[in-house]
């Protein structure tokens, strides 16, 4: 087995300049899955060049589609009949593959989807996905490592989620658009990626109202048509650049993102002492001096994103004062703290809280990525450490950050990818 790629990160560099984010990882994969709902060619623009896109390509091709990827454009040719069996290796490799569950149930009357893998950030059961489909008239169960859903006919229903799960909201939406009658989904996820999915579905002929609110109404239609859609900008990548600017005492302008999608994160940075300017499709973060400590707690949108929690910890680790970071979404996300301790952070985990006393500078060493966002967070931490930090298992980062090393270096960092 060969040596995995690593990043060598030189500490002490200040990020300065401008960068543009591509389409959102957390949206493009779900949009690709939604293309299963309509025969013909669906075109997605502004797609991020990340590892998960070709993985979803394999999933769709395994179901009978033809998929072309040309840079940031993805074309999906969906046949008149698609396979309902998504039980193969590509499906098991990443979490987003479960997004085919709703479309296949609606289109084929059956879905067999292998239980997915993905990031090691805690349990993400499919209970709400199954419960939502069952309320629409499907029967579901887990069998031989796959979730199975079957329905002779889907019928609109009143559905209330126990938690505003993004994945459950997506699968219920993509099933309900072809159900008979009206579905009312309460406590729906409100993330910008959900709004993006609804906008694409409506352009395909669906009738969805209330996207971006906690109550979404779906009036089922008989048939959808293929469409062309531009993927919403990636707010997590944009937020990563924002926190990187604050951590390194930098000055970074980020384009391709609506600032309202990062309202709370940018407000937190202002509290730390950063100067933040917002534009229609971008923002600028400038930090002069050492950031001040500020507490963060993760919550579903419009709360602070759990995907930016490692960046919040990185900032707290070198801020002046004491910060408390509270994780309310994924129970295993604090695995990242163990790696921060290697770098000299003064951090103590207490249940779903971590208390950090900021230090002047972190101390470079070897660290290991456990998931996409932890990997990016460790790179940012390496930028504010003395000497050279080596970040291992960087394939995780490649799943969510297109051209990460190139963009860092464009902003003045010194990061090298080594096999």
Q: SS3 for 60?
A: helix
Rounded to whole angstroms, the Cα distance separating 289 from 274 reads 9
CA angle 85, 87, 92 (to 5 degrees): 145
**How long a stretch of residues is the chain?**
419
Cα distance between residue 31 and residue 57, in whole Å: 12
Cβ atoms of residues 372 and 401 within 8 Å? yes
8 A C-beta contact, residue 35 and residue 42: yes
- C-alpha span between 94 and 52 (Å, rounded): 8
Nearest CA-CA partner of 111 in 141, 66, 132: 141
Q: Answer yes or no: are the C-beta atoms of 377 and 311 closer than 8 Å.
A: yes
Number of helices (H), then strands (E), belonging to the chain: the values are 14, 26
DSSP H helices, 248-286, are 263-271
Does 59 belong to an annotated binding site?
no
Q: Is 398 a catalytic residue?
A: no
The per-residue b/e assignment along 331-349, b for 16 or more CB within 10 angstroms, e otherwise, is eebbbbbebbebbbbebee
Joined tokens for residue 398: 């490649």
Residue 333 among known ligand-binding residues? no
Q: Is 237 annotated as a binding residue?
A: no
Catalytic pick among 52, 87, 119, 371: 119
Q: How far is residue 310 from each of residues 49, 283, 370, 376, measured CA to CA in Å?
A: 22, 21, 11, 8
Q: Is 95 annotated as a binding residue?
A: yes
- The secondary structure element, H or E, covering residue 114 is strand 110-114
Tell whether 361 is in a known binding site.
no
For CA atoms 56, 68, 82, 228, the dihedral sign is positive
Contacts of 264 (CB under 8 A, 6+ apart): 302, 303, 304
DSSP string, 124-190: --SHHHHHHHHHTT-EEEEETTEEEEE-S--B--EEE-SS--HHHHHHHHHHHTTSBSEEEEES---
Return the CA Rg of the chain.
21
Instruction: Give the integer Cα–Cα distance in Å for 235 and 94.
Output: 20
As annotated, the binding site for phosphoenolpyruvate includes: 25-26
As annotated, the binding site includes: 25-26, 95, 307, 329
- What are the residue numbers of the active site? 119
């Amino acid at each position: 087995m060969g040596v995995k790629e690593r990043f060598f990160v030189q500490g002490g560099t200040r990020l300065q300049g401008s960068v543009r984010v591509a389409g959102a990882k957390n949206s493009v994969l779900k949009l690709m899955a939604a293309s299963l709902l309509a025969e013909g060619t669906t075109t997605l623009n502004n797609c991020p060049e990340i590892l998960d896109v070709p993985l979803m390509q394999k999933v769709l091709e395994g179901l009978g589609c033809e998929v072309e990827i040309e840079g940031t454009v993805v074309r999906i040719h969906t046949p008149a009949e698609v396979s309902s069996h998504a039980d193969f290796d590509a499906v098991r490799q990443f979490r987003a593959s479960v997004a085919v569950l709703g479309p296949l149930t609606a289109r084929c009357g059956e879905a067999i989807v292998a239980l997915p893998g993905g990031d090691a950030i805690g349990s993400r059961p499919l209970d709400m996905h199954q419960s939502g489909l069952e309320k629409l008239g499907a029967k579901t169960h887990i069998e031989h490592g796959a979730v199975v859903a079957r329905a002779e006919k889907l019928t609109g229903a009143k559905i209330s989620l126990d938690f505003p799960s993004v994945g459950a909201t997506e699968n219920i939406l993509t099933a309900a658009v072809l159900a008979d009658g009206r579905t009312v989904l309460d406590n729906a996820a409100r993330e910008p990626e959900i709004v993006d999915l609804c906008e694409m579905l409506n352009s395909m002929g669906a009738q969805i109202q209330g996207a971006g609110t906690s109550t979404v109404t779906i009036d089922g239609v008989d048939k959808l048509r293929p469409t062309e859609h531009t993927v919403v900008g990636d707010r997590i990548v944009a937020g990563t650049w924002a926190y990187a600017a604050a951590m390194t005492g930098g000055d970074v302008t980020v384009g391709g993102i609506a600032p309202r999608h990062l309202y709370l994160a940018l407000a937190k940075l202002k509290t730390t002492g950063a100067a933040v300017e917002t534009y229609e499709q971008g923002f600028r973060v400038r930090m002069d001096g050492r950031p001040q400590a500020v507490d963060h707690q993760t919550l579903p949108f419009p709360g602070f994103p759990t995907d930016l929690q490692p960046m919040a910890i990185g900032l707290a680790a070198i801020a002046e004062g004491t910060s408390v970071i509270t994780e309310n979404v994924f129970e295993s996300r604090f695995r990242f703290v163990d790696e921060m301790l290697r770098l000299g952070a003064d951090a103590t985990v207490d249940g779903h809280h971590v208390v950090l006393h900021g230090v002047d500078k972190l101390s470079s060493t070897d660290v290991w990525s456990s998931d996409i966002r932890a990997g990016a967070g460790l790179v940012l931490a390496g930028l504010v450490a003395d000497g050279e930090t080596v970040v291992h298992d960087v394939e995780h980062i490649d799943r969510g950050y297109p051209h990460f090393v190139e963009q860092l270096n464009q902003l003045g960092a010194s990061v090298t990818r080594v096999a």
